[in-house]
Structure 1
């Protein structure tokens, strides 16, 4: 597991640079920003709006780029084939592997009861994450009935909850 600023590339960076370049996202992982065709000005709350084709569901590469655009965010691969996005040393988004259905695992609330709201609103597209679900983590389908704006707001919320729990010296500045 490589820490940001360790002098090496994040795990899997070469693979993802090639993959993102093939999809027209060249430099997205390295630059930690969304490509210009998807970029939008930050809102008053400092959050970027995810602007892409509203007809098509969000793709995994778009969600990865959105997560990496967060201040201090970095890509890690703590388990073979599974990717996570961290801030400081803590995970705020689980993206899993390239194969299978595109999902993102995020902290949907401080407690299981709060996170259960997602299960009630989106019964076919939200599920409790194995092992850590009791702590308010859910898996959300990217290609299901949850609209992109709601997905990005959920990622923003997960990021904010994780950053709030970081020691002040590990919190990103920006």
Structure 2
């Protein structure tokens, strides 16, 4: 069974309305909408906003303890790293990307939201 690659995840993220790639730190690609990051890409996983707070994000960690973990520095705000090719099904990863994007868009000033 084919699994999502990092390139496929990047392409999916950049297919979202108003999404664009950035490299705020050398070698680390992120997907942004407006001026906000909605996905951290690179390595073997993707960093996503997985809940409004740590408690909500921890539900995913408890479901997939070997493949989802709290992101350093911003994890307290509901960000997790989700491993590609692990126990988290590809369709669920795509849904998590959709949710992270929608959450970030909802917090943008109206003038920065994609049409």
- The counterpart of 2:49, out of the listed 104, 107, 112, is 107
**Residue-pair matches, total:** 115
Structure 2 equivalent of residue 77 of structure 1: 23
Task: Spell out structure 1 runs of 4+ moving beyond 2 A.
Answer: none
TM-score (norm 1): 0.65
SS at match of 1:109: coil
Structure 2 counterparts to residues 8-27 of structure 1, below 5 A: none
Cα deviations across residues 55-114 of structure 1 (Å, max 9, x unaligned)?
122100000000000000000000011000000000000003xxx4x2000000001000
SS at match of 2:16: coil
TM-score (norm 2): 0.98
Task: Quote the Cα distance in structure 1 between the aligned partners of 2:27 and 2:14.
Answer: 18
Q: CA deviation at 1:138?
A: 0.0
Structure 1 equivalent of residue 80 of structure 2: 138
Task: Quote the Cα distance in structure 2 between the aligned partners of 1:70 and 1:57.
Answer: 20
More strand by share: 2
- Which stretches in structure 1 are left out of the alignment for 5+ residues? 1-54
- The counterpart of 1:86, out of the listed 9, 28, 32, is 32
- Which stretches in structure 2 are left out of the alignment for 5+ residues? none
Task: Quote the Cα distance in structure 2 between the aligned partners of 1:151 and 1:86.
Answer: 17
More helix by share: 2
- The counterpart of 2:60, out of the listed 118, 121, 125, is 118
Whether 2:110 is the aligned partner of 1:168: answer yes
SS at match of 1:106: strand
Cα RMSD, aligned residues only: 0.6
Whichever of the two has the greater Rg, that structure is 1
